[in-house]
Chains A and B, each alone.
Chain A
Amino acid sequence: MTDVPVRRERLKASWIFRPGVRSAVIQLLLVGLLVLVGWFIYRTTRQNIITQRIPIGFDFFWIESGFSISQTLIPFSESNTYARAFLVGLLNTLFVSALGVFLATVIGFLVGIGRLSHNWIIARLCGGYVEIIRNLPLLFQILFWYLAVLAALPVPRQSISLFGEVFINNRGILIPKPMFGECIGVVAALAVAGIALSLILATLARRHRIRTGAGMKTWPVALLFVLVAPLFAFFYLKVGVAVDHPVLKGFNFIGGMRVIPEFLALLIALSTYTAGFIAEIVRAGILAVPRGQTEAASALGLRRSSVLRLVVVPQALRVIVPPLTSQYLNLIKNSSLAVSIGYPDLVSVFAGTTLNNTGQAIEILGITMLVYLFISLVISFAMNMYNRRIALKER
């Protein structure tokens, strides 16, 4: 047998049709186009900035702001810089978002479970809540709470008083302000450390249970860490606490702590709105757990609460967590609607007042967008980690 030389047939088609070449060409074209567009935008922007005499750079950060902010978590006054104003706005955004996420989760779970209740009127009420809340724009709800509900409260002199300590009027809610002695830092540090220790302990106990099957009661030790130790320190160090009560003087209150109505309106609207969506997610998640799981668990002799805690909830969470993440992200992004009622959040303080004062739209809006982008990425990363932990582990 002789070797027959293999005759390669020459391809007729042009080299341009080779997938590799074509994909390279297309990608090059895309990059070229993007660079071209970017260069075009850069050139026009530079031209516009020069003709309109807009200052550039980030020097404005260190200029005295000259405005005051109605709610600040850190001290702020007119003489502080724009950089500090930015920080105040960011903290306010995070503050209202964190509270909103917490409240929305609580209300959302309650309503979502309530909608599945066998009690007809509860199920109907929760259903009505979900339908109404989800079908009205959030801005509508924020304005409604702000203009129609909170602004309609009585003037300070006719405040609604709760136990003579808390006063509700159209300028917000006044609550007594606790004033601690100087060693409160130690107590706070102890409490934080206690929480951390308890979490570690709980994890260890769970591992122990999984390995040996023997449960361990952890809550007495946790209680000791979280409550008893800080309380002991509180009294031992004689921290002491004084209360600054709100008192009506003339037309307004002095003293105490004032929760501004802008904050209240935003918090109520954000948490009830997002709760409507969370409720639907929770309902879908619970319904996604097959009934056989519940029945099997009862057949094993578990109590009803244990069935829920050990069988239904872990499986429902798998369905609930991914969409829940996007609702949390929505809530944080929606907190920017604060600008419509003047709650001093990041957008309102930085992209609003600071932008109007300095006119440096590109830097300010760029930073604002990047901050939100960063928060979104961090949260979705954290929730992805959590999701991976509770996801179905195929064994």
Chain B
Amino acid sequence: MSAAFVRMEPLPPQPAPFAATGMWGWLSRRLFATPGDIAMTIVGFAAFVLIVLPLFRFLVFDAVWTGKDREACVNAAGACWPFVAAKFNQFVYGFYPYEELWRPNLVFAAGMLLLVPLLIPSAPFKRLNAILFFGVYPIAGFVLLTGGNLDPQRFVLGRFIRISDYVDLDAWRGMRATFWIDFAASALLITLAVAIVARIFGTRISASLKAMAVIFLALAILIAPVDADFGLRWVETREWGGLLVTLVVAISGIVAALPIGILLALGRRSEMRLVRWASIAFIEFWRGVPLITVLFFATYMLPLFLPGGANIERLVRALIGVALFSGAYMAEVVRGGLQAVPRHQYESAAALGLGYWKTMGLIVLPQALTNVIPGIVNNFIGLFKDTTLVQIVAILDLLGQVRAAFSDPNWSSPTTLYTGFAFAGIIYFIFCFAMSRYSLFLERRAGTSALRVEGAMR
């Protein structure tokens, strides 16, 4: 017996309703789902058109592209790009001497060359690259930008003995003989003293000798290039400006902030109470006050605190302030990384017999720092944006230079101001956007991002 009305196989699936698929489906779901949605879509579209179209017209279609002075732009309805072209050097280098521009250019190029492979995770020679970027590059950059040849007079011994009474040697390539004899003698004496003290407390002499030798060698390597005369003209930081200052403040701020931040973060997690309290007080103080007051502090108070402080150049003072400020913020980023290192890592290190500094340097910090690279990049973005504040203490960064150029009567036109803002805005946006995308890329790669959670839930 067969039952003809029983269907033996399932019906073929019907195509999705017209309204749910394709372009129409997308439109009806994402733009016109409900009456409220339709209203929002219309408002949103109107806002988009009202903002973006005039912007494009201003920046491109109505813009003036060629011209020599304000005559070209006086009747313009759009951006006055010749103004930017004429002021371009000022925006990028400030008043850095024209014939020496190859120096900042070289620093920019070398920075790019070292930074790009450092940022690409798969590029080889990471360690060498990092040493070059964080160790060699700042010194080379300093010498190139300022001209170096600082010519220090005395080290330690020289403060007690006048070495020039005993030695009479010519300076070699700008390096004063008396200073280096002073340096060598002081190094030798200090090393001996440390070795003797350490012996009394039971450390092996060879170990302390080695440690001291490393310290003094590093110092010598640091001082020598700054002391030497490479035949570069001295360029005062007063003449620097524009993007150069922005980058110098941001990069030296972050490079100085890393060691400060690591030390503070370790201090904050230390078991020694006084060390912990001191670190917390330092971190919370600098994080609790606005950067402007820090810059005021560096400009007005620092000269009072240091002997000969009034002779420290304005930019250097600001750099000290920025380093303290960003060091405190960096400490919190690093602390986050330290807290994320599992406890068994410390325990395994202890089981291997490693001491505190070896545990931290070889086991904990490498993991902690790798984990917080996105945080460091985000910190850097903040610092990069905050560098604009130096113009309040009369250091002309990119924005400060652009602002200063507004008052040039040769270029006064109705759109000069807007063009300047557009230019500065585009530069800042490109830098910050690129960095924030990079940090996002790192987060995704590390798989620690909140975005991964988001992706899994959608």
A interface residue numbers (CB < 8 A to B) = 13-14, 16-17, 23, 26-27, 30-31, 34, 41, 44-45, 47-49, 54, 117-122, 125, 131-132, 134-140, 143-144, 147-148, 284, 287-288, 290-291, 333-334, 336-337, 339-340, 347, 351, 355, 361-362, 365, 368-369, 372-373, 376-377
* Nearest B residue (CB) for A131: B433
Q: How far is the CB of B133 from chain A (nearest CB, A)?
A: 24
The yes or no answer to B218 lying at the interface (CB within 8 A) is: no
Q: Say whether A287 contacts B48, CB under 8 Å.
A: no
A27-B274, A340-B392 known; A372-B40 Cβ under 8 A: no
Q: B48 to A372, Cβ gap below 8 A? A: no
What are 20 A-B contacts with C-beta separation under 8 Å? Answer: A17-B202, A41-B305, A54-B304, A125-B48, A134-B432, A134-B436, A135-B433, A136-B385, A139-B388, A139-B391, A288-B453, A290-B457, A333-B290, A333-B291, A340-B391, A351-B292, A351-B296, A361-B296, A368-B296, A372-B289
Give Cα A373 to B428, complex, Å. Answer: 30
Would B289 and A125 count as touching, CB distance under 8 A? no
For the complex formed, measure the closest distance between the CB of A51 and the CB atoms of chain B, giving whole angstroms: 10
CB pair B301 A361 closer than 8 Å: yes
**Residues of A with C-beta under 8 A to B213:** none
**Contact: A122 with B40, CB < 8 Å?**
yes
Cβ-based interface call for B438 (8 A)? no
Known: A347-B290, A347-B293, A351-B293. A362 touches B301 (CB 8 A): yes
In the bound complex, do residue A44 and residue B288 qualify as a contact, i.e. CB atoms below 8 Å apart?
Answer: no
CB atoms of A373 and B399 under 8 A apart: no
- Known contacts being A121-B41, A136-B429, is A362 close to B453, with CB within 8 Å? no
B429 CB to closest chain A CB (Å) equals 5
A137 touches B202 (CB 8 A): no
Q: Is B132 an interface residue when CB atoms closer than 8 A count as contact?
A: no
Contacts of A49 in B (CB 8 A): 304
B56 within 8 A of A: no
Is B44 in contact with A121, judged by CB distance below 8 angstroms?
A: yes
B418-439 contacts to A (CB < 8 Å): 418, 421, 424-425, 428-429, 432-433, 436
Residues B292 and A120 in contact, CB atoms below 8 Å apart: no
Supposing A23-B272, A27-B272 touch, asked if A118 and B304 sit within 8 A by C-beta, the answer is: no
Q: Please, which residue of chain A has its CB at the minimum distance from the CB of B435?
A: A135
Closest to A292 in B: B457
User: Per a CB cutoff under 8 Å, which of B41, B201, B289 touches A333?
Assistant: B289
Most buried by B among A54, A117, A140: A140
**A289: nearest chain-B partner, CB-CB:** B457
Q: CA A99 – CA B375 in complex, angstroms?
A: 30
Residues in chain B within 8 A of chain A (CB atoms): 29-31, 33, 37, 40-41, 44-45, 47-48, 201-202, 271-275, 278, 284-285, 287-293, 296-297, 300-301, 303-307, 309, 381, 385-389, 391-392, 399, 403, 406, 417-418, 421, 424-425, 428-429, 432-433, 436, 450, 453-454, 457
Instruction: Tell which of B29, B278, B454 touches A118, judged by Cβ atoms closer than 8 Å.
Output: B29
Question: Does the CB pair A30–B278 fall under 8 Å?
Answer: yes
The complex places the Cα of A103 from the Cα of B421 at a distance, in Å, of 25
Inter-chain contact A48/B309, CB cutoff 8 Å? yes
The one of B285, B303, B406 that contacts A373, using a Cβ cutoff of 8 Å: B285
Query: Which of B288, B387, B457 is close to A372, meaning CB atoms less than 8 Å apart?
Result: B288
Residues of A within 8 A of B450 (CB): 284, 287-288
B393 CB, min distance to chain A CBs, angstroms: 10
State the main secondary structure of chain A at its contact with B. helix
Q: Which residues of A contact B309 (CB under 8 A)?
A: 44, 48
A59-B388 Cα distance, complex, nearest whole Å: 35
New A-B contacts (18) at CB < 8 Å, excluding given A121-B41, A134-B432, A136-B429: A17-B202, A45-B304, A121-B31, A122-B41, A125-B47, A134-B436, A135-B428, A135-B436, A139-B388, A143-B403, A143-B421, A290-B457, A347-B296, A351-B292, A351-B296, A361-B301, A365-B300, A373-B289
Q: Summarize B's interface: helix, strand, loop or mixed.
A: helix
Given A16-B201, A131-B433, check contact A27 B31 (CB 8 Å): no
Nearest A-chain residue to B42, judged by Cβ:
A121
Residues of B within 8 A of A48 (CB): 303-304, 309
Residues B29 and A287 in contact, CB atoms below 8 Å apart: no
* Chain B positions within 8 Å of A376 at CB level: 287-289
A126 to chain B, nearest CB (A): 9
Out of B288, B307, B417, name the residue touching A148 (CB < 8 Å). Answer: B417
Which of A47, A132, A143 is the one whose CB lies under 8 Å from B399? A143
Bound Cα distance from A118 to B309, whole angstroms: 59
Check A148 against B388 for contact (C-beta < 8 Å).
no
Q: Is the CB of B424 within 8 A of A140?
A: yes
- A365-B297 in contact (CB<8A): yes
Question: Top 3 A-B pairs ranked by shortest CB distance?
Answer: A135-B432, A14-B202, A361-B300
- B310: nearest chain-A partner, CB-CB: A48
Q: A30-B274, A361-B301 are in contact. Are A44 and B457 (CB under 8 A)?
A: no
Given A333-B290, A377-B288, A16 and B40 contact (CB-CB distance below 8 Å): no
B residues near A118, Cβ cutoff 8 Å: 29-30, 33
Q: Report Cα–Cα, A31/B296, bound state, in Å.
A: 28
Q: A336 contacts B293, CB within 8 Å?
A: yes
The one of A44, A140, A147, A368 in contact with B305, judged by C-beta atoms closer than 8 angstroms, is: A44
Closest A residue by C-beta to B425: A136
* B289–chain A nearest beta-carbon distance, Å: 5
Give A34's nearest chain B residue, CB to CB: B278
Q: Which residues of A contact B386 (CB under 8 A)?
A: 137
> In the bound complex, do residue A139 and residue B399 qualify as a contact, i.e. CB atoms below 8 Å apart?
yes
Contact A119 to B429, CB < 8 A, known contacts A16-B202, A373-B288: no
Smallest Cβ-Cβ distance to A334: which chain B residue: B290
**Alpha-carbon distance A287/B451, docked complex (angstroms):** 9
Q: In the complex the two chains form, what is the Cα distance from A20 to B67 in whole Å?
A: 75
Closest B-chain residue to A347, C-beta based?
B292
Contacts of B272 in A (CB 8 A): 23, 26-27
From residue B60, how far is it (CB to closest CB) to chain A in Å? 18
Q: Are A337 and B425 in contact (CB under 8 A)?
A: no
**Interchain CB contact under 8 A, A121 and B293:** no
Q: Which residues of A contact B389 (CB under 8 A)?
A: 139, 337
Please name all residues of chain A whose beta carbon is closer than 8 Å to the beta carbon of B429 when the two chains form the complex. 132, 135-136
Q: In the assembled complex, which residues on chain B have CB atoms less than 8 Å from the CB atom of A284?
A: 450
Among B44, B272, B391, B433, chain A packs the most CB atoms within 10 A around the CB of B44
What is the CB-to-nearest-CB distance from A336 to chain B, in angstroms, rounded to a whole number? 4
In the complex formed, the residue of A with least CB distance to B276 is A27
Residue numbers in B under 8 Å from A287 (CB-CB): 450, 453-454, 457
- Contact: A14 with B273, CB < 8 Å? no
Cα separation A30 to B282 with both chains bound (whole Å):
14
A41–chain B nearest beta-carbon distance, Å:
5
Decide if A339 touches B304 in the complex (CB within 8 Å). no
The docked-state distance in angstroms from the alpha carbon of A140 to that of B425 is: 8
B residues in contact with A347, CB < 8 Å: 290, 292-293, 296
Residue of B nearest to A118 (CB): B30
Q: What residues on B are CB-neighbors of A34 within 8 Å?
A: 278
Q: Output the nearest chain A residue to B307 by Cβ-Cβ distance.
A: A44
Given known contacts A287-B453, A337-B389, A351-B296, is B428 in contact with A137 (CB within 8 Å)? Answer: yes
